[in-house]
Structure 1
Amino acid sequence: MNKATNNVPIHAPLFPDPFVPYSCKNYLSVFAVAEANESEIKRILSYTPFEYVTNKIVISITDFSNTDKVSFMDCAFVVPAAYGNQYGGYYIYEYENNDAAIAAGRDLWGYPKKYANIQIVENNREIHGAARKNGKELIKMTVNLNETMPALEEPITTPHLNLRTISKPDGGIYMQEIIERDTSPDFILHEKTFHPVQLRVTQTVTEPLHLLEPLHILGGGVVKGDFYATEENGWGKVLKRTLF
């Protein structure tokens, strides 16, 4: 019998075991810093043990296709949050294009990952990132490399503060864990530049991204580097576990 009990179900694992360590050389991410609808950020956080900090959020589209264990693309909406004296980033929306990466993030650490088709392309000194779901474009981001801007004062989004919830088979919640995860100490930065960014979000029945509007885009840019999820920092740390 497969003894890898961190895979669910263990007879049909969706992701490699162990999932950590893994790495992604030549990582590329485009990002925007935006002021979002404050009441919506507070509403989302009201369902969590995390406290509101600011309505500045970070929206990113990232190319993890060079990841050595599972190749994937990622799109994330992260809001600053506090848990007691700990400040970090809470993922309110996250999309990826590989079910193994989705399952690993959800099952191991509680990221709210869902499927979307994600692309990043560069054309005429512009980087275009997009996430599409069921044929509809959820997010479109354009970074203009022809223009630069001063470095932004970015909100705190690490460590990640996740809320992993395990359901009862007959309904309701069995267990919740507050999980801290921070791979940033092992990231090797090659280049980070700041540029004007255009961003558009679109709602669907299951993706109410429009509730974050109005989104006032402060700017953004491009990050290039080598990503590492090491044995030391790649796993999550349980800060609190609650049985219901």
Structure 2
Amino acid sequence: MTERRWGLNRPTEADIVAGGFSTPWDAPFIPPFPFQFRNAQILTAFYRTDPAAMAFLAPPPVEAVGDVVAIHIYKMNDTDWIGPYHEANVMFGASIAGREGAYSPYLFLHSDGGVAHGREVHGQPKKYANPSLEFRGDLIVGGVERNGIEVVTITTPYKQERADPAAMRAHFEFGTNLNLKSVNHIDGRPAIRQITSRKLTDMVVHECWRGPCTVELRPNAQAPVFRLPVIEPLEAFFWRADFTLVAGEIVHDYL
């Protein structure tokens, strides 16, 4: 008989090996799929960079594509399990085995659950930081602060030109996110070495605006976004959406 304490069933071995299990078992930290994001506000800025810098950061056999970087600054207002928080995703066009998508060399957020989920499940290189998204009069300002340094600052005018959300895909297919998942056994041997892929589903965009942008990067050895230097700022989009995070897939297994 399953032992029951404090209103909880003690997990069985079958529970432990099942998908979606997370520790501590009596207060799970990692959300099981699917979980929803509601009324997320997002500032997406595109800029031109050095293709050699992109190639340096892309893990083989992932190949960097083009010369454009996107930085998404999210204000997650209502998220299952995790609650409200801010996040930043730095990505560029990439391909692997004929699959087009976007590789993320850097992600930052100030949610411990979000950091853990991204790293443990997707293999995303998430680090704890302080992204922000603010309205300052007629300007939208997005940023990332880590170690007291504003490593990213993005600006765009406040809601001047309505846009079709599909226009954001003109630079590269950022909806398919590629990540390098690396996990070791306790004895140091490699346990997981994969390229993973995930897409957001049930996407509903409530509004979308576009405009010119500025992108400023400052060096930080623990948040080295400066490795993708700004050659030319292109454009920014401010959009508000609902979406669902579902299970992804393994597209390359090094082991």
TM over 0.5: yes
Alignment of 1:37-48 (within 5 A): 37-45=50-58, 47-48=59-60
Cα deviation, residue 169, structure 1:
3.2
1:184-203 deviation per Cα after TM superposition (whole angstroms, max 9, x unaligned): x4110111111111111111
* Match of residue 52 from structure 1: 64
Q: Does 1:131 align with 2:144?
A: yes
Task: Say if 1:175 and 1:22 are closer, same or farther in 2 by CA, change over 3 A.
Answer: closer
Cα deviation, residue 145, structure 1:
1.9
* Match of residue 61 from structure 1: 73
Q: Measure, in 2, the Cα distance between the counterparts of 1:96 and 1:56.
A: 22
* Match of residue 217 from structure 2: 201
Identity of aligned residues (%): 22
SS at match of 1:53: strand
Answer with 1 or 2: which has the greater Rg.
Answer: 2
Q: How many residues end up aligned between the 2 structures?
A: 236
1:91-113 deviation per Cα after TM superposition (whole angstroms, max 9, x unaligned): 11100101101101110111111
Q: Measure, in 2, the Cα distance between the counterparts of 1:92 and 1:63.
A: 20
Q: Measure, in 1, the Cα distance between the counterparts of 2:80 and 2:31.
A: 13
Q: Measure, in 2, the Cα distance between the counterparts of 1:149 and 1:218.
A: 17
* Match of residue 161 from structure 1: 178
Q: Measure, in 2, the Cα distance between the counterparts of 1:17 and 1:129.
A: 27
1:110 alignment partner, one of 95, 115, 123: 123
Q: Measure, in 2, the Cα distance between the counterparts of 1:97 and 1:158.
A: 22
* Match of residue 74 from structure 1: 87
* Match of residue 23 from structure 1: 36
Q: Measure, in 1, the Cα distance between the counterparts of 2:22 and 2:188.
A: 18
- Aligned partner letter, 2:254: T
Q: Measure, in 1, the Cα distance between the counterparts of 2:31 and 2:65.
A: 36
1:188-244 deviation per Cα after TM superposition (whole angstroms, max 9, x unaligned): 011111111111111112222222113311111201111222xxxx1111223333x
* Match of residue 93 from structure 1: 106
Cα deviation, residue 16, structure 1:
4.2
Q: Measure, in 1, the Cα distance between the counterparts of 2:140 and 2:158.
A: 7
Task: Say if 1:74 and 1:215 are closer, same or farther in 2 by CA, change over 3 A.
Answer: farther
Q: Measure, in 1, the Cα distance between the counterparts of 2:185 and 2:113.
A: 23
1:156-209 deviation per Cα after TM superposition (whole angstroms, max 9, x unaligned): 1121112211124344533212212111x4110111111111111111122222
Q: Does the CA-based 8 Å contact 1:54-1:80 persist in structure 2?
A: yes
- Aligned partner letter, 1:117: N
Q: Does the CA-based 8 Å contact 2:22-2:30 persist in structure 1?
A: no
* Match of residue 237 from structure 2: 221
Task: Say if 1:149 and 1:28 are closer, same or farther in 2 by CA, change over 3 A.
Answer: closer
Cα RMSD between the aligned structures?
Answer: 2.3
Task: Say if 1:12 and 1:91 are closer, same or farther in 2 by CA, change over 3 A.
Answer: farther
Q: Measure, in 2, the Cα distance between the counterparts of 1:54 and 1:62.
A: 24
1:179 alignment partner, one of 196, 200, 212: 196
SS at match of 1:187: strand
Q: Which runs of 5+ in 1 are unaligned?
A: none
Q: Which runs of 5+ in 2 are unaligned?
A: 1-9
Q: TM-score, normalised by structure 1?
A: 0.87
- Aligned partner letter, 1:143: T
Task: Say if 1:13 and 1:93 are closer, same or farther in 2 by CA, change over 3 A.
Answer: farther
Q: Measure, in 1, the Cα distance between the counterparts of 2:16 and 2:155.
A: 42
Q: Measure, in 1, the Cα distance between the counterparts of 2:56 and 2:189.
A: 21
Q: TM-score, normalised by structure 2?
A: 0.83
Q: Does the CA-based 8 Å contact 1:36-1:214 persist in structure 2?
A: yes
